[in-house]
Chain A
Amino acid sequence: MLFFSFYKSLVGKEITVELKNDLSITGLLQSVDQFLNIKLKDIKVNEEDKYPYMISVKNCFIRGSVVRYVHLPAEDVDVETLQDHSRLEAREQKKQNKQHQEQKSSTATTATTSTTV
């Protein structure tokens, strides 16, 4: 959720998305979803001569899973807030994991140890 909220705060800003197949696309962030799929508008491919078929593409949807990096506008990133949110989310995650564990162990009353030293 941390990065989803973070990207929502960057809507309208220019970012460069670098894909796992080395294609780099610069454009304005239009929208983002929970999978970090990204919609860009007014796009430009960084090595246009290498990918001539991309010249006429103006808008695109990028599946989150094919992204390697996103180059961000440093002036629009508040690192203090990000760090605080990361710590908060880590704590939340831990709590959830513990609850999950407790549920599991309470249902598994017959679980016996089967390892031998």
Chain B
Amino acid sequence: MTTSNTSNNSNAQFNFFKMCIGRPVVVKLNNGVEYRGILEVVDGNMNIVMEQTEEYLNGQLKTKYGDCFLRGNNVLYISAQPRK
């Protein structure tokens, strides 16, 4: 399969995001901090809104946020979690 077509790629990306919405995810940022919560919405810049978010540093819970917005440029990965 050729993946050079950008619209093909962004479509796959979009489908992955759509699949994850409303589900628990882990988002890791470039600075090593991890956010666990329910994915609400994502855009093409990887800006993310999550709810019931927990902030983890080195595996330790640091803070909780109700809603939280993460700026896309800091995102290393978004990982879908199995439903609890």
Contact = CB atoms under 8 A, between A and B. Distances in A.
Contacts of A115: 12, 15-16, 19
B17 to A, nearest CB: 10
A108 B19 CA distance: 21
Contact size range, A? 10 to 19
A114 B16 CA distance: 10
B24 to A, nearest CB: 16
A114 B1 CA distance: 9
A115 B16 CA distance: 7
Interface stretch (B3-11, B28-36, B61-69, B71-79): B3-11
Contact of A113 (B5, B7, B11): B11
Contacts, number: 28
Interface in A70-117: 104-105, 107-108, 110-115, 117
Contacts of B16: 115
A117 B19 contact: yes
Contacts of B10: 104
Given A108-B7, A111-B11, 16 more contacts: A104-B7, A105-B7, A107-B7, A108-B5, A108-B8, A108-B11, A110-B5, A110-B8, A111-B5, A111-B7, A111-B8, A112-B8, A114-B1, A115-B12, A115-B19, A117-B19
Interface of A: 104-105, 107-108, 110-115, 117
